[in-house]
Chain A
Amino acid sequence: METWMAVMIGILFAVGTYMILTRSLLRVILGTAMLTHGVHLLLLTMSGLKTGAPPLLGEEAGKYIDPLPQALILTSIVISFGVTSFFFVLAYRTYQDLGTNDPEQLRGGDHE
């Protein structure tokens, strides 16, 4: 199971990196979203998969899964959700004001 997750995370990272390097802001943003999804899966995998129990401790819990990585993922999801939505708004405003969504055109220069 962990091996398959590793492959999956690798694919997400590869896709994310590829999309960040493309010349369209929309794809760049989706690329960062892919990247963060990959990281969240990585966090999940690090805590160990399939122990067959919820992250709860009973009075005499025989088996349980470590709840901390799930809390970390939740925090990270909230942050990346906020940042991604901000990024979309920023890209839209930039497209309106500067009339381009090509990062190459946003290079800027000393002429201003």
Chain B
Amino acid sequence: MSNLVVLPLLTPILTGILLIFVRNVSAQRWVSGAGALLNVIISALLVNQVSEQGILTLYMGGWEPPFGIVFVADWLSALLVLTTSVIVFASVLYASASIGADRTKHYFYAFMQLITVGVIGSFLTGDIFNLFVCFEVMLIASYALLVLGGEKRQLRESIKYLLINIVSSTMFVVSMAYLYAVLGTLNMADIAVRVAEADQAGILNVIAVLLLFVFALKAGLFLFYWLPGSYSAPPAAVTALFGALLTKVGVYALIRTFTLMFAYDPAFTHTLIGWLGGITMVLGSLGAIAYRDVPRILIYNIVIAVGFLCFGLSLANAAALSGVIYYLIHDMIAKGLLFMLGGMLATAAGTEKLSGMGGLIARYPALGWMTFVAGLSLVGVPPLSGFIGKLLVVQGGFEAEQYGMTAVALASSLFVLLSMLKLFMGAFWGEPQASAAPTGRSFQAGLYVPAALLLAIVVLLGVGAEWLGDYVARASDVLLNPSRYIEAVLKG
């Protein structure tokens, strides 16, 4: 029992509520920055305590599981909470220098804190209905952030995003109703015990596939057709937050569901996930090389990464799961970074289309080099953070003798490289475009600060992979042996 488990959730809630009452624009920036920084410190404490004491649990209201709601911080959750709060801090810094007073007055920062509540709650909760509630908190805040500003494109894309998510949330509740009728429990650890006893077959596989459908829709695995439109509508500060966090929450839910609860029929469920991941990588690669505007190239790179992570999840061996954890953390930070750089790029050039850019390296050398390094880390070039995750997943693929699918995963890296090269060459090389010059304007230098922060983390994660290795190994150990998680929750 440790109250620290709920603090990363409590800080953004209280900051968000406080922000509703703060009317002054610069005061809002300072309060949300301070709140986000405080949450980074608390999350770091949580990571530290988990590494010292093992899995931490907190029974809400003293109701012991499986009856009450339990919050669980294992190695994976703690690590993701820390990553999330770092990204939120960077996004708040980025928003302070790019979001205008009109959006700020309409509670932009409060919604940013509330989306953090949903994301961190989803990572920490040990109760599947509470997971649904946290998803909804996150989604409702994301609807608001998506539509705030009220541009025509935002309105149009919000409607599609809203409809897709209402339908998938409905399906989530349907799967929960079935789950409760069959197993009589909603506590994840207890579900895992009962699924193991019932030998996962028949109706339980139906529920597993329903959950796969729900989380795949949220994560952008295979069913990602809503994603490119809605992610390109809001301003860059919001897209960075969405791209870094929202789909990854879906991936986390998939990891929890299929390593803890429904891990007993891998021949059926994991094969399905593997195939979906493979198809997603292929379709994402096609999108990434087909489009010629900055946001869409980056958005299709999210899709490729989700496919890659799910392929790693489907292998379910030690190397692949460690790789998935490494790559998940890397991808959250690298995607946040790239969307920030993409937003700066679009502001500088005055257009999102690559055809209107060119020659920006002369005016913005720092931006050029940062984009270059971030792009390389996404591809997985050795000293940077993407490499170790990809290496481990590929190693896991060979161990599981999935040669064909591993080849697809490696080929998708080549397409990532191709799309990043296209972006870099189109935007920074060549002659400056005369037509784009009048609309392009310089952005505030303050935008470099969060981007540099995330870039430093990308480099550190790569160079210091050894330092993180022990922690990740223990995280993947819990995923491989769900009994550790179950024991910690039910007997904690």
Contacts and interface: CB of A to CB of B under 8 A. Distances in A.
B163 interface: yes
A90 B174 contact: no
Contacts of A36: 166, 170, 173
B162 interface: yes
B140 interface: yes
B6 interface: no
Interface stretch (B151-159, B269-277, B451-459): B151-159
A15 interface: no
B133 interface: yes
A34 B326 CA distance: 42
B147 interface: yes
Main SS of chain A's interface residues?
A: helix
A32 B155 contact: no
B158 A90 contact: yes
Contacts of A68: 180, 186
A93 B155 contact: yes
Contacts of B229: 108
Interface string B444-456: 0000000000000
A108 B153 contact: yes
Contact of B173 (A39, A82, A83): A39
Given A86-B143, A87-B162, A90-B147, A39 B156 contact: no
Interface string B188-212: 0000000000000000000000000
A107 B169 CA distance: 23
Contact of A46 (B166, B169, B170, B177): B177
A26 interface: no
Given A86-B140, A108-B153, A42 B174 contact: yes
Interface string A59-87: 00000000011001001100110110011
Interface in A92-111: 93-94, 97-98, 103, 106, 108
A83 B160 contact: no
B166 A90 contact: no
Given A82-B140, A98-B152, A108-B153, A35 B162 contact: no
Nearest to B296: A110
B129 A94 contact: no
Contact of B167 (A20, A43, A91): A20
A79 B172 CA distance: 13
A72 B176 contact: yes
Given A39-B170, A46-B177, A72-B129, A90 B163 contact: no
Given A32-B167, A108-B153, 10 more contacts: A20-B167, A35-B167, A47-B180, A69-B180, A72-B173, A79-B140, A83-B136, A83-B166, A86-B143, A90-B162
6 contacts: A35-B167, A43-B173, A47-B181, A93-B150, A98-B156, A112-B153
Give the 9 A-B CB pairs with smallest separation, nearest first.
A46-B181, A94-B155, A43-B177, A46-B177, A39-B173, A106-B156, A42-B177, A32-B166, A79-B136
